[in-house]
Amino acid sequence: MIFFIGRSINNQTASMAVLHRGMGMPKIGMEEVRRRQLVNATLELIREGGVAGASVSQISARAGLANGMVHHYFTDKDALFEAALEELVKRIYAEVFALLKLAKTPLDRVIAFVEGNLSEASFTPENVAGWLAFWALVPHSPTLQRIHNIVARRTQSAMTHAISKLTNRAQAAQRAKAVTIYIDGLWLRAAVDVGGLTRDDARALAYDFLSQQLGVAVRPP
């Protein structure tokens, strides 16, 4: 699961705005409350039973709302799923950004990426299950594909920039791609092998791989 956008905190914050309505400052009012209820219910149901277990009626029931409320606050189910993916992205951003604020070196920035994706708040069963469900939908949904492409491009750019300060510039892009793909692989294994990959295991594997890519020993903070 790759969420690491921009090269400065201000740029990263600005970049979030392009991820559509769910990524901006929260609106005040009952509409926003109801939308959040529906989004959270969607993520909970996807965790429990996948996309097939998240019908409009089931989402409404879980949110404690009447069946027609989904279409009142979202144009259709696809729009609700889009908002749910944006919420999932935002949860990970919060972790990555908190660590980026503390980063003082390029290596700190790379570590912020790894830690942000594998933190206690990010690497949860709900987030992992939600990511896998949305990942499977991306090839069939132009809207979800757009969000995925934005995140992937900016992650690659930011990681390449940071790693280029630590190793051979000509190889930085390839090493950055390898690290991001490896983290994706850890999320995938956690999603399909429930209970088989702990967060501690994932972090240990990630830092071993990062050390190999950078040619220096990198340890978890």
Is 172 part of a structural domain of the chain?
Answer: yes
CA-to-CA distance for 196 and 153, rounded, in angstroms? 30
Is 220 part of a structural domain of the chain?
Answer: no
For 89-132, how does the pLDDT look when each residue is reduced to its tens digit (9 = 90+)? 888 778 888 998 999 999 999 999 999 999 999 998 888 888 88
Entry pTM: 0.78
Residue 26 has pLDDT above 90, yes or no: no
Q: Note whether 125 and 95 are within 8 A (CB).
A: no
Residue 50 has pLDDT above 60, yes or no: yes
Q: Please state, for a pLDDT cut of 90, what percent of the chain lies above it.
A: 52
Is 82 part of a structural domain of the chain?
Answer: yes
- Residue 170 has what pLDDT? 85
Residue 23 has pLDDT above 80, yes or no: no
CA-to-CA distance for 91 and 121, rounded, in angstroms? 8
Confidence of residue 1 (pLDDT cuts 50, 70, 90): low
Domain that holds residue 148: 9-214
Is 219 part of a structural domain of the chain?
Answer: no
Give the ranges where the chain is alpha helix by DSSP (H).
Answer: 9-16, 30-49, 56-63, 69-73, 77-100, 106-118, 125-137, 142-163, 169-192, 199-214
User: Residue 60 belongs to a domain with what CATH number?
Assistant: 1.10.357.10
For 165-180, how does the pLDDT look when each residue is reduced to its tens digit (9 = 90+)? 998 888 999 999 999 9
Is 101 part of a structural domain of the chain?
Answer: yes
The DSSP-derived string for 9-39 is HHHHHHHHGGG-GGGSPPPPSHHHHHHHHHH
Residue 16 has pLDDT above 60, yes or no: no
Is 42 part of a structural domain of the chain?
Answer: yes
Is 4 part of a structural domain of the chain?
Answer: no
- Residue 90 has what pLDDT? 86
Confidence of residue 53 (pLDDT cuts 50, 70, 90): confident
Q: Note whether 124 and 11 are within 8 A (CB).
A: no
The residue with tokens 């696809």 is 78
Q: Give the mean pLDDT of 64-71.
A: 90
Beta-carbon contacts of residue 28 (< 8 Å; ≥ 6 apart) = none
Beta-carbon contacts of residue 152 (< 8 Å; ≥ 6 apart) = 2, 180
- Residue 51 has what pLDDT? 87
What's the number of CA atoms in the CB half-sphere (13 Å) around residue 11? 10
Give the chain's domain count: 1
Is 1 part of a structural domain of the chain?
Answer: no
